[in-house]
Amino acid sequence: MAWLFLIVASVFEVGWVLSLKLSDGFTKWIPMITYALCGIGAAFFLSRASRTIPMATAYTVWVGMTMVGTAIVDAGIFKQSMSWERILCLALIVLGTGGLKWFSPTTG
């Protein structure tokens, strides 16, 4: 269950980053409210995950999933380029975070 909490925390964090961009310098109310709710959701679920998963592992995996998710949103919604070099680097992040999960001492 802890790994599911970590995935949910990452989704909230991607929403947090997206709403930050959409808030246009905190001038738009709906993205500002979404920003606050996503930030609270990310922190809540990360704290739940870290009950079982070692904090260093949980935080690193959370950041890695957030980086990959944000890059996908950036390319999909904001039409940012995705060169093979960027894709390779994202694949290395996925490989590293997957390794942390694989070698984690928890079963949660």
What's the whole-number average pLDDT of the chain? Answer: 92
Residue 46 within a domain: yes
- Residue 2 above 80 pLDDT? yes
Residue 78 within a domain: yes
Please state, in angstroms and rounded to a whole number, the distance separating the CA atoms of residues 46 and 31.
22
- Dump pLDDT digits (tens) for 50-73: 999 999 889 999 999 999 999 999
Question: What is the count of structural domains for the chain?
Answer: 1
Residue 107 within a domain: no
The structure tokens 């246009």 sit at 24
Residue 79 within a domain: yes
Residue 108 within a domain: no
Residue 64 within a domain: yes
Q: Name the pTM for this structure.
A: 0.86
Structural domain for 50, as ranges: 2-102
- Cβ of 89: how many Cβ atoms within 10 Å? 14
Mention every residue, 6+ apart, whose C-beta is less than 8 A from residue 62. 6, 9, 10, 13, 46, 49
Residue 65 within a domain: yes
Collapse the DSSP code of 23 into the 3-class scheme (helix H, G, I; strand E, B; otherwise coil) and give the result: coil
